[in-house]
Amino acid sequence: MKVLLINSVCGVGSTGKICQDLYWALKKRGHDCKIAWGRKKGGTVPDVDTIRIGTQVDCYLHALSTRLFDNSGFCSKRATEEFIEKVRTYDPDVIHLHNIHGYYINIRVLFNYLKSCKKKIVWTLHDCWSFTGHCVHMDFVGCQKWKTQCFQCPQKSDYPRSLFFDRSYKNYREKKELFTGIENLHIVTPSFWLEGLVKESFLKDYPVTVVHNGIDPTVFHQTASTIRKDYGLEGKKIVLGVAYQWTARKGYQDMLKLAEQLPEEHYKVVLIGVSQKQIKELPKNILGIPRVDGKDLNKWYSAADVFVNPTYEEAFGMVNVEAQLCGIPVISYKTGGCPETKIAEDCYFVEKGDVQSLVLLVKQIGERISSIRVAGESKLLPSNSETIGVRSYQFAEKKKSAPDLAHQKGEWGGYQDMLRHIVFLYLDNLRGG
């Protein structure tokens, strides 16, 4: 079977890594696979067969047009037409869409092809862009226009940013026309929360499968760390926050408020993913660290005493699961799919914006950690740590969860399950004509 994955990036960021992992899972099973990508931050990945969509100049022009005319997804026409010719040559059996926003592809050209190609199509949604007239998330502003008709977008100045025009009304109508009425299209969401939104949108007639994102337990696990010694944090309780980019939507101001209410002599708030500008502006009771990945991030999780995720918009909440895999308590806002990330008892959820509850829980956990250290005990992993990399990634269809997947080192339940139950499901259809 030939599978073509399409995403804005390859090998970097959460969606880029998901595509890369799916690529290797398919290759391992003897299938042919390519990843099509368009953003500079993606680039080629060693030993991965990729197709570049357009050039970086095309991306810049697409972004510039979006800034001026709010037409994200409707530029890059020539680049997309050239890409479609490459798709015809490759002739995949399954086309697996991921993020199709990001200034790299023309959705009109792409979906006109998808409506006529008679291929099996999987579309994994990582956000809400596919059924809004502009934004990727609407939780932060509480907008409900996407359910009927977008107009006068309250987030026009947010990604994909438009400086002048508001095209949300026309974007919504054109997306609805393009994205509906496609044969053999199956939508995948990483949470029941996002599934619920899809079923209220103009995509509601498509079958939807929930597959929680998988995480590699060989990368994220409790491990020895010299972080405390390296950063002079001995004797401190580390309150950790991690984000790809710290903004108001990720709860940046809430972390600052939290730090203000924790005794500096006992606690140190550490924010990973802050910019150089933010590092210079942070108060002295907060340690700012630029973005880190993989093993280095695992060391921070392992060194921390509690993880806090005050996000206001989240389709799933991968960082919550990563922290739990490393054996630390998690406190998160009850946002989007975050409540579905609970895989250990020490995982708590509070209402969005409730900083006082964050403070209370952090202090309660801090007192418990102090008593454990006095008793000479080590930090305890959750009681279900043997299967912690499994239970969160159960396959679910029509709100029925399958039994826990058998854990195999280096292979992750969510990815395997999606391949088995969705992509490989099409093999029977293909053989049957």
Predicted pLDDT of residue 24: 87
Chain position carrying tokens 């984000």:
243
Contact (CB, 8 A) for 294 and 316: no
Return the SS3 of 235.
Answer: coil
| AA identity, residue 380 | L
Instruction: Say yes or no: 336 and 208 in one domain.
Output: no
Chain centroid to Cα 334, Å, comes to 16
CATH code assigned at 198: 3.40.50.2000
Task: Judge whether 355 lies within some domain.
Answer: yes
Distance CA 41, CA 9 (A): 7
Distance from the Cα of residue 336 to its chain's centroid: 12
The DSSP output letter for 51 is: E
CA atoms within 13 A on the CB side of 264: 7
The reported pLDDT for the residue numbered 372 is: 57
E strands in 226-375:
237-242, 267-272, 286-289, 306-309, 330-333, 347-350
pLDDT digits (tens, 9 = 90+) for 124-159: 999 999 999 999 999 999 999 999 999 999 999 999
Q: What is the DSSP letter of 106?
A: -
Decide if 310 is inside a domain: yes
> Residue 308: is its pLDDT beyond 60?
yes
Q: For residues 220 and 109, which has the higher predicted lDDT (pLDDT)?
A: 109
Q: Do 82 and 194 have their domain in common?
A: yes
Q: Is residue 221, in this structure, part of any structural domain at all?
A: no
If you average pLDDT over residues 12-40, what whole number do you get? 88
- pLDDT score of 369: 77
Q: Is 268 inside a domain boundary?
A: yes
Give per-residue pLDDT as tens, 60-69: 999 999 999 9
DSSP 75-92: --HHHHHHHHHHHHHH--
Residue range 384-411, pLDDT digits in tens: 333 333 222 222 222 223 223 223 333 3
Q: Which two tokens stand for residue 343?
A: 């895989």
3-state secondary structure (DSSP) of residue 295: helix
Same-domain check for residues 128 and 183: yes
Do 59 and 148 reside in the same domain of the chain?
Answer: yes
d(CA 168, CA 154): 10
Give the total number of structural domains in the chain.
2
Distance CA 189, CA 26 (A): 20
Cα–Cα–Cα angle for 9, 73, 315, rounded to 5 degrees: 60
Please provide the average confidence, as pLDDT, over all residues in the chain: 86
What's the chain's Rg over C-alpha atoms? 22
Residues above pLDDT 70, as percent of the chain: 84
231 and 208 share one domain: no
Whether 396 is in a domain gets the answer no
4 three-state secondary structure: strand
* Phi, psi dihedrals of residue 162, rounded to the nearest 5°: -120, 130
User: Do 166 and 261 share a domain, yes or no?
Assistant: no
- Which pair of tokens denotes residue 282? 């942070």
pLDDT for position 344: 87
Residues 244 and 136 in one domain: no
Interval 30-42 mean pLDDT: 86
- Interior angle at CA 116, CA 114 and CA 117, nearest 5: 65
Q: Which of 23-27, 79-83, 154-158, 427-431 has the lowest mean pLDDT?
A: 427-431
Q: Which pLDDT value is given to residue 44? A: 65
Render pLDDT for 350-390 as a digit per residue (tens, 0 to 9): 999 999 999 999 999 998 876 654 444 444 444 333 333 32
pLDDT at 214 over 80: no
Question: Phi-psi category of 348—alpha, beta or left, where left has phi over 0 and alpha has psi -120 to 50?
Answer: beta
Strands of 17-110, DSSP E? 32-37, 50-52, 94-97
Domain span holding position 347: 227-374
* Residue 398 located in a structural domain: no
pLDDT digits (tens, 9 = 90+) for 412-432: 344 445 555 555 544 444 444
Mean pLDDT of 288-300: 91
Q: Does some domain include residue 333?
A: yes
Whether the pLDDT of residue 229 is over 50: the answer is yes
Of all residues in the chain, what percent are helix, strand and coil, respectively (each to 5)? 40, 15, 45
pLDDT at site 17: 84
CA dist., res. 413 & res. 336, Å (int): 21
Question: Rounded to whole angstroms, how far apart are CA atoms 199 and 398?
Answer: 12
Instruction: Tell me what the mean pLDDT of segment 108-132 comes to.
Output: 96
Looking at residue 387, its pLDDT comes to 31
In one-letter notation, the amino acid at residue 90 is Y
Task: Note whether 397 and 425 are within 8 A (CB).
Answer: no
Instruction: State how far the Cα of 427 lies from the Cα of 433, in Å rounded to an integer.
Output: 10
Report how far apart, in Å, the C-alpha atoms of 165 and of each of 65, 174, 400 are: 11, 17, 44
For 379-418, b/e burial (b = at least 16 CB within 10 A) is: bebbeebebbbbbbbbbbeeeeeeeebebeeebbbbbbbb
